[in-house]
Structure 1
Amino acid sequence: MTRSREDSEAELAQVVEGIKVDLGPEASWPSPVLLNGLALCVMNSIYSTGNRSERVVRVLDRYRRRRRDAGFDPALDGPKDLLAEIDECGGPEGFANALENHWRAWSSKTAPYKAEVIYQAAKLLDTASVNTREQLEEGLRDSVAHEHLKRGWQGLPGQGSGLTWRYFLMNAGMPGIKADRMIIGWTVRTLGRTTTPVEAERLLTDSASQLGVETRRLDHALWDYTRRTRRQQS
């Protein structure tokens, strides 16, 4: 159902007020983590969906230890380095074993490991000569290159929604809202009605603009608030 302009403006005001009440002044908001190396951005975006952040951190820490032990700085790793590390492990399955992680791309025993999706994502970026944040930013300025990367990412196993693509960009410091279960859940509770990912993204993007805050900062603050609230209620 198409909402009237008056309804849309009223809901935006409701969301803005909800942000102020739940989050307080921006100075008190937690800052989102900026992952300098694109390898960690790829891994975090794909491993994070459907999993608790603490468990994802442990997996990333295992990767960091492996790279440091091999004499490399994991914070600087790009997709090419990630591909080399996966190949060093004997491929995606060996990589999953090395990180002691066998999460799958979706909830089926026949689904590929997320390690396989990560390998394909790194290959997509490396083939497009995107191995640093600067190269990513340059690629995004070209509409054709941007669309190629986006479509390629959404063509990866289980990534059709585009959620992990947006989260990958946000991990690399780009603006955005990732309308995952936590963000949509907050929007639903605030408005008292069902909202789609597109609606949640639009409302929060417009709210960030009205409040004069970065979208990725608002996204992280709402995610953190929702996570803490759920823990207190459990």
Structure 2
Amino acid sequence: MVNSDKTLEEQAQRLADYIIAIDLEPVPLPPEYFYASLPLCVIDAVFSIGVSYTSTRNTVVRYCKRQNWTRTLAPDAPRARGERTIVEFLALFDGLAPDQMADELFGNRQRTSTRSGILKAEAVQRFASALKEFGIDDFEDMTGDRPAAAEKLVRGIPGQGSGISFDYFRMLAGDDNLIKPDRMVQRLIARAIDVKPDQVTPDLARTILKGAIPVLAERGAGWSPRQLDYAIWERESSGPAK
């Protein structure tokens, strides 16, 4: 069975072997990992699911221009306190129906799924409300038990049940120990362990990738989970490695 401890260990070893075999190297994190405000991490995390990332980037850029928000900071800039807070962000939704949120704030009517999905704009508002409920207003609040408590509420939002978007939100907010196990990561892991892509669930991808980190470290390749996740995504976005 693929979920036995022995097999998971073997699969982590195989993933590490594969990463070395294809000469995967760390690449600089892109600007979105240095957003100037925590709400931008929410927007990106929700709108990025199931679509081309170019569409997501355009949505964030458009929102920042409309609201006159700074989009990103220099990689070494402090972010304990962002330029805008979750409370400030939620105030922008007051009095707006979901379709107005989509049109007036984001210029994007994408839904969380084609079947029974809600507008991603509404999902963003509900995601931010969950953060506020547990006292998360800025980067400095992403500590202790608060993120995990907020995640339980977020997973109840249509389209957020897998937890992928919340993990990605935390990565954008600065957590170096998480991955976004999307289809790009799942595809490479499936190839590395010689199974079909649909056999690699998000949870399995998380487990195998994190298991490969110490194996790679033993072989002199120091990776954080977030670094490895992004390097895989960047490689797969350019076409699967052979």
TM-score normalised per structure 2: 0.82
Q: 3-state DSSP class of the match of 2:238?
A: helix
Alignment of 1:178-217 (within 5 A): 178-193=180-195, 194-211=199-216, 212-217=222-227
Once residues 5 and 148 of structure 1 are traced to their aligned partners in structure 2, the CA distance between those partners, rounded to angstroms, is 28
Corresponding residue for residue 225 of structure 1: 235
Q: 3-state DSSP class of the match of 1:208?
A: helix
Tell me if 1:126 matches 2:112. no
- Residues 21 and 78 of structure 1: is their aligned pair in 2 closer, same or farther, counting only changes over 3 Å? farther
- Residues 146 and 60 of structure 1: is their aligned pair in 2 closer, same or farther, counting only changes over 3 Å? closer
Q: 3-state DSSP class of the match of 2:34?
A: coil
Greater helix share, 1 or 2? 1
Q: Does the 8 Å CA contact 2:85/2:138 hold for their aligned counterparts? A: yes
Tell me if 1:30 matches 2:28. yes
How far is 1:18 from its partner?
A: 1.4
Corresponding residue for residue 219 of structure 2: none
How far is 1:164 from its partner?
A: 0.8
- Residues 125 and 5 of structure 1: is their aligned pair in 2 closer, same or farther, counting only changes over 3 Å? closer
- Residues 177 and 74 of structure 1: is their aligned pair in 2 closer, same or farther, counting only changes over 3 Å? closer
Q: Does the 8 Å CA contact 2:134/2:149 hold for their aligned counterparts? A: no
Q: Which runs of 5+ in 2 are unaligned?
A: 73-82, 217-221
Question: What is the total number of aligned residue pairs between the two structures?
Answer: 220
Once residues 229 and 171 of structure 1 are traced to their aligned partners in structure 2, the CA distance between those partners, rounded to angstroms, is 24
Alignment of 1:84-233 (within 5 A): 84-87=91-94, 90-98=96-104, 99-108=106-115, 110-137=116-143, 141-142=144-145, 145-174=146-175, 175-193=177-195, 194-211=199-216, 212-229=222-239
| One-letter amino acid of the structure 1 residue matched with residue 124 of structure 2 | I
Once residues 168 and 125 of structure 2 are traced to their aligned partners in structure 1, the CA distance between those partners, rounded to angstroms, is 17
| One-letter amino acid of the structure 2 residue matched with residue 31 of structure 1 | L
Corresponding residue for residue 83 of structure 1: 90
Q: Does the 8 Å CA contact 1:23/1:221 hold for their aligned counterparts? A: no
How far is 1:9 from its partner?
A: 3.5
Identity of aligned residues (%): 26
Q: 3-state DSSP class of the match of 1:229?
A: coil
Once residues 140 and 70 of structure 2 are traced to their aligned partners in structure 1, the CA distance between those partners, rounded to angstroms, is 18
Q: Which runs of 5+ in 1 are unaligned?
A: none
Pairwise CA RMSD: 2.3
Once residues 225 and 36 of structure 2 are traced to their aligned partners in structure 1, the CA distance between those partners, rounded to angstroms, is 19
Once residues 42 and 34 of structure 2 are traced to their aligned partners in structure 1, the CA distance between those partners, rounded to angstroms, is 12
How far is 1:11 from its partner?
A: 2.3
| One-letter amino acid of the structure 1 residue matched with residue 122 of structure 2 | E
Corresponding residue for residue 67 of structure 1: 67
- Residues 2 and 180 of structure 1: is their aligned pair in 2 closer, same or farther, counting only changes over 3 Å? closer
Once residues 50 and 207 of structure 1 are traced to their aligned partners in structure 2, the CA distance between those partners, rounded to angstroms, is 26
- Residues 125 and 229 of structure 1: is their aligned pair in 2 closer, same or farther, counting only changes over 3 Å? same
Runs of 4+ in 1 over 6 A off after TM superposition: none
